[in-house]
Structures are given as C-alpha cells and as structure tokens.
Amino acid sequence: MKEFEFKKIQVRNEVLAYREGGKGERNLLLIHGNMSSSLHFDKLMDELYDNFKIFAVDMRGFGHSSYHERFDSLKDLSEDLEFFVDKLRLKDIELVGWSTGGGVAMQFACDNPDMVKRIVLLESVGIKGYPMFKRDSNGQPILDQLLMTKDEIEMDPIQVAPVLRALESGDAKFYKMLWNMAIYTAGNTPDEDDYDRYIKEMLLQRNLVDVDYALTRFNLSSEHNGYSLGTNEISKIKCPVVVVQGDKDLVVPMSMAEGIYDALKPNARLEILENSAHNPMVDRLDKVVEIIKGN
C-alpha cells in the first residue's frame, strides 16, 4: 500500500479528519457514503496514487471527524467541504462521490461551479433524494406515507432502529450481516482483514438519523419529491459528469442514476457496471480506476 498521511483540520465548529497523499498534479476529493468513512477508499487511493493529489475526508459525524453540531441537509456537509477546500487552497478539483457522497458532491458543484473540474458519481443518491416510508405491521413500506421527522426516522424498525442499536453496542457481527445482505450483493466481499477494518470505522458513526433525514430532503430537481419542491440547482452543474451504476445495486435503484444522467445531459455520461453492486470499489475496482483516470 502507498503512504497516505492521516491529518485533522479545524473547519468552522468541527474538526475534520482526512487522508492525503499522491504524486499527481490533479486534485481529487473523495467523498464517502453513509455508514462508512474515508477508509473505504483505501484500495482506490492506492491505485490512483501516481495520477492525483488525493484528499479523502471523514465527513462530520463519521469516522474520526467531530460531531459538535447536528445537521439537516447535505448542503451542511457540502459547506464543511467548502471550508476544507478553502483552507487547503485547492483549485480545479475533481470530485468522486459514493452513494450519499454523490449527493454531497453534486451540492458542492452546484454551489461552487468554478471550482469543480469534473465529477464521478458512484452509486449516487438521485437528484430528488432518497425517500423513507412508514411501515405496515409486516414491516413493508407504505408507499403513500413518508417518514417526515427525525423522531419518525429514528423509530423506523427496519432501516434505522436496528442500526442505531448496533452502533450503540458496537455490534460488528450485525454490520457484517447487513453489508453482506445489502451492499455486497454481487458475490464479492473485501478481504477479511480489510472488512474488519472497515467495520471498525463504520461503528464510529454518530449522525445516522441526521444523514437519513438530509437524504429525504435533498432535492436539486425542479420537481416535488414528496417532501418539498426542488431548488433546480442541478442546472448549475456544467462540468463533465460520469454517472457510474452497478447492475446489481439493491440500495440505489437504476432510476436514480438515469435521473442524474437525464438532468445533466449533454455534459454527462452513464456507465453501467456489470456484476457490480453498491460498492464498486470492491466489485469492479479496475473499471472505477479507469473511469476516474479518464478525462
């Protein structure tokens, strides 16, 4: 493995932990997803070491970053990264956003179009967010009844409450079971030692309810998403965008990738990865590296 420095930096009222390294001249900011941290990019960072100057941040409330203030939107997380980028005086940034991190990357690009040179979205949340539904007595979603408040989200018996209990108790076994069922659905998993390291970092998360709430309210479209009318800020993104979606992803539906692509044409292209699920860094690392290196 290549050498990456592990650092911390004061950003507003938070302290963000991040990994930095690489020999290339191109600035690359990696933005992780929910239930993860910057550590999940380790294999990808190693492969990109010679081509980029890489910065991988633990967002607020994830990994080794602080969580002094709660938040309600992905814009709050994006603004943290704006201050991070400003402090490090980074310019001409290429963004890679994975899952929730894709939403943060799009918000960052909307707010800072002159700073972003290119975006690669890996299994990203769609431009109209990620709805959460109330459940019936059998635990099935009621598709015309949305969870509206943080209290309601916290009580969700399927997606949220069990995860909160696992975080509180440090239940690594539960997390591995969950990721095997939901994330690694293409038949691949990390090496055992790597998997243990990733789960140890996952269990550091403190902001699960805030993130889930923020995902429901995220809406860069011009349409209503069931929670609110969109901002239509997606129209501000003019840089090239590659939308990467696995054909076996059970977390983010293909329709979300297609929605991003449709909204950003003609500056976007859609790359569908065969035999890849919600973590393409495990399922199709070679292809992800090729896409990110491309111009």
Residues 6+ apart with CB under 8 A from 223: 128, 229, 230
Tell me, what CATH number does 77's domain have?
A: 3.40.50.1820
Q: What distances in angstroms separate CA 152 from CA 71, 135, 157, 260, one per listed residue? A: 16, 11, 10, 28
pLDDT digits (tens, 9 = 90+) for 128-138: 999 999 999 88
Per-residue pLDDT band for 114 (boundaries 50, 70, 90) equals very high
Q: Higher confidence at residue 9 or residue 1?
A: 9
pLDDT of residue 259: 98
Per-residue pLDDT band for 1 (boundaries 50, 70, 90) equals low
Instruction: Indicate if the pLDDT at residue 110 is higher than 70.
Output: yes
pLDDT of residue 295: 58
Q: Helix 172-182 and helix 192-202: axis angle, to 10°? A: 110
Instruction: Indicate if the pLDDT at residue 257 is higher than 90.
Output: yes
Range of the domain at 21: 5-293
Number of domain units in the chain = 1
pLDDT of residue 3: 82
pLDDT digits (tens, 9 = 90+) for 207-226: 999 999 999 999 999 999 99
pLDDT of residue 2: 77
What pTM did the predictor assign? 0.97
pLDDT of residue 8: 98
- Mean pLDDT over 226-246 rounds to 97
Instruction: Indicate if the pLDDT at residue 261 is higher than 80.
Output: yes
Instruction: Indicate if the pLDDT at residue 152 is higher than 90.
Output: yes
pLDDT of residue 150: 98
pLDDT digits (tens, 9 = 90+) for 162-207: 999 999 999 999 999 999 999 999 999 999 999 999 999 999 999 9
Q: Phi and psi for 26 in degrees, rounded to 5?
A: -85, 130
pLDDT digits (tens, 9 = 90+) for 85-94: 999 999 999 9
